[in-house]
Amino acid sequence: MAFIWKYIKEDALFLLIAPAFMLLSVAADLLQPTLMAQIVDNGVANGDLAYIKERALLMLLTTIGGLLAGIISYYMAARTTARAGQRIRLSLFSKITTFSHKELDRFSVPTLITRMTNDVSHVQSVILSIQNTFLQVPFLLTGGLFMAIRLSRQLSLIFCIAIPVLIAIIAIVLVRAVKVFPVVQEKLDALNRIARESILGMPIIKGYLAEPLEKIRFSKANDDLYNWQLKSALLMILMSPFIMMTFNFSSVAILWVGGYEVYAGQLEVGKIMAFSTYLSQILMAVMISSFVIYMFSQAQASLKRIQEVVDTETSIQSPASGKEAQGYQIDFDHVSFRYDEEAAEDTLRDIHLTIRENERIGIVGPTGSGKSSLVGLMLRFYDPQEGTVSFGGVPLPQLDLVQLRQAIGLVQQDNTVLSGSIEENLKIANPQAGATDMQKALDQAMAQELYIHREGGLSTAIQQRGNDLSGGQQQRLSIARVLLQKPRVLILDDSTSALDVLTEKRFLDELDQHKTEQSQIIIAQRISTLKRCDRIIVMNRGRIEAIGSHEALLEESPTYQAIALNQSDREVTL
């Protein structure tokens, strides 16, 4: 409750108003059977038409008042609930944006989406119940019992049997249900993960005619979720017949015992009618309480999942008073790194390297050799388990993250293009950039056609994930975005792979003009690209195998020789 209170305390006034009006609505409901009994026993029995009209008018006014109070209560409660959901989702999203890659790897995208949507909905249901049903049930239960006892103490003994039976049934069901809810959420996460992977990978799936296999994989996860949801639903369904059976037996008992009392002249008919109504209200309160407890149990699992995200502290944080980098030289001092702390082998092993200012470095190596991991450490996406990475003479943990990531611009292998306009995509890197700056960046990235040949120019809309752009256009847009940032260190992580040879050459020619202004780190497989670099780093199995010029590596590095031999004769001559 303390966790929920953080998100609803701003609406404390509404939290007081909603329950107050709900209690007025319940009080109106509790008054109705008594008024009805008075009409039957005093008005109808004595033929007093004036009394009947008076009580009927009072019943009408009470009904209208209760209806208005209920509407106000539910409006206030709904408003508070919606605002709370809004704040929880914002809190979750804000926390996720602070996560390092380590935390994102731990939670995964599908489960984070589920927690921001499905789990928040469950918690909202509880917040709504707290304001209305949570207070309505005990008031209706105690008020109904009090009014029933006033009518007939002997008939009220029936509740001493009916209510404990109902409580026992509800307790048995809910004990089982509490164990099921966390599993249901886990199965939902798994289904979302498979659905997301399949949708994003649809071109590959269709290309390999793998639709039947994906349908089987999705169907298995879907069936698994269905089975657990069915178990959860069955537990609640089983309660209904037992509750109705208890209600029916109680009604029969009231009519049976009440009939004898009416026959003996100890009780009026109107009171039996009122007592039956109170029985319905009391048993309804018990039944509602079962659903509330069920809802609380369901939301408890969701609340734990939400709280787990909100309470998670990112492993990569800026120091309170970060040091200022002196220049932009990058140093690796015997660095070793692995993604999983318990992994048997390091991803990077004993990396000792210096990247000087205004130097163009090429990085090459087989798939999985650690090239992208090396770049990730430069931007402090992860911290190494051993050794130190420094920027401008300052170890990265002592350097302000904003300063570091403003100084280093990265274009990754996977091109991230967001839905929106070309301008909006570019301004992610530099919100203050003008149209001239953006056009210049697109020109440098050889992406002039993105604004020249489009009717909307820079305002042209782009579909989600850049689906209306070719792979090369997505890459060049990503490159233009980082160029607009004007970083002191530019990192291209295999980000020209989708460009044809001529376009790549023109782009590299453009980069040559900025060699004296920034360090450039180019991860590539094309020898023609690597030959332009001052030094080339050859990586193999997480280690630096060799560092040198193109000519030197052709003689010293077996890995580089193998890569070169597989290139076109027009690009390399051994």
What are the phi and psi torsion angles at 417 (to 5°)?
-115, 125
CB burial readout 3-21, b (16+ within 10 A) else e: ebeebbeebeebbebbbeb
Give pLDDT, residue 334. Answer: 93
Over the chain, what is the mean pLDDT? 82
Nearest-angstrom CA–CA distance, 298 and 533 = 59
Give pLDDT, residue 1. Answer: 63
pLDDT at 568 over 60: no
Nearest-angstrom CA–CA distance, 232 and 177 = 6
Nearest-angstrom CA–CA distance, 297 and 181 = 8
Question: pLDDT band at 573, cuts 50/70/90?
Answer: very low
Provide the 3-class DSSP secondary structure of residue 526: coil
Average pLDDT (82-106) is: 88
Nearest-angstrom CA–CA distance, 430 and 510 = 21
Burial class (CB in 10 A: 0-12, 13-18, 19+), 436: exposed
**pLDDT tens-digit readout, 521-539:** 999 888 888 888 999 999 9
Task: Give me the helix-helix angle, 120-131 and 12-38, nearest 10°.
Answer: 50
pLDDT at 572 over 50: no
Give pLDDT, residue 250. Answer: 79
Residue 569 in tokens = 């004769």
Residue 182 in tokens = 């966390």
Stronger pLDDT, 177 or 546, i.e. the higher one: 546
Question: pLDDT band at 102, cuts 50/70/90?
Answer: confident
Question: pLDDT band at 563, cuts 50/70/90?
Answer: confident
What are the phi and psi torsion angles at 286 (to 5°)?
-65, -45
What are the phi and psi torsion angles at 518 (to 5°)?
-155, 155
Nearest-angstrom CA–CA distance, 410 and 487 = 9
Average pLDDT (462-471) is: 72
pTM of the model: 0.70
Nearest-angstrom CA–CA distance, 58 and 50 = 12
pLDDT at 574 over 60: no
Size of the chain, expressed as the number of residues it contains:
574
Give pLDDT, residue 159. Answer: 74
Nearest-angstrom CA–CA distance, 84 and 18 = 15
Give pLDDT, residue 570. Answer: 46
Give pLDDT, residue 535. Answer: 93
Q: Which of 104-108, 192-196, 259-263 has the lowest mean pLDDT?
A: 259-263
Q: Which helix (H) or strand (E) holds 140?
A: helix 133-151
Q: Which of 230-234, 318-322, 506-510 has the lowest mean pLDDT?
A: 230-234
Q: Please name each of the domains of the chain with its CATH number.
A: 2-311 (1.20.1560.10), 330-565 (3.40.50.300)
The DSSP secondary structure of 548-570, one letter per residue, reads E-HHHHHHH-HHHHHHHHTS-TT
Residue 199 in tokens = 């949708």
Give pLDDT, residue 500. Answer: 77
Q: Which of 166-170, 240-244, 327-331 has the highest mean pLDDT?
A: 327-331
Burial class (CB in 10 A: 0-12, 13-18, 19+), 271: buried
Question: pLDDT band at 454, cuts 50/70/90?
Answer: confident
Give pLDDT, residue 183. Answer: 83
Stronger pLDDT, 310 or 571, i.e. the higher one: 310
Share of the chain above pLDDT 90, in %: 13
**pLDDT tens-digit readout, 202-218:** 777 777 677 888 888 88
Residue 122 in tokens = 């469950």
Nearest-angstrom CA–CA distance, 504 and 492 = 12
Q: Which helix (H) or strand (E) holds 395?
A: strand 394-395
Residue 426 in tokens = 């570019």
Give pLDDT, residue 232. Answer: 75
Q: Residues 408, 488: contact at Cβ < 8 Å?
A: yes
Average pLDDT (495-499) is: 74
Average pLDDT (486-504) is: 83
Q: Residues 481, 441: contact at Cβ < 8 Å?
A: yes
Q: Residues 24, 65: contact at Cβ < 8 Å?
A: yes
Using the structure block, give the residue that is written with the tokens 């050889």.
Answer: 446
Q: Residues 555, 383: contact at Cβ < 8 Å?
A: no
Identity of residue 79: R
Name, in order, each residue with C-beta under 8 angstroms of 276's C-beta and a sequence gap of 6 or more.
251, 254, 255
Average pLDDT (241-246) is: 77
Nearest-angstrom CA–CA distance, 152 and 409 = 81
Closest CA to 307 of 123, 46, 493: 123
Q: Which helix (H) or strand (E) holds 279?
A: helix 269-311
Q: Residues 185, 102: contact at Cβ < 8 Å?
A: no
CB burial readout 40-73, b (16+ within 10 A) else e: bbebeeeeeeeebeebeeebeebeeebeebbebb
Name, in order, each residue with C-beta under 8 angstroms of 489's C-beta and a sequence gap of 6 or more.
328, 330, 355, 378, 407, 408, 409, 518, 519, 520, 521
Residue 321 in tokens = 């008073």
* CA geometry: angle 140, 146, 148, nearest 5 deg: 95
Stronger pLDDT, 336 or 48, i.e. the higher one: 336
pLDDT at 569 over 60: no
**pLDDT tens-digit readout, 356-368:** 999 999 999 888 8
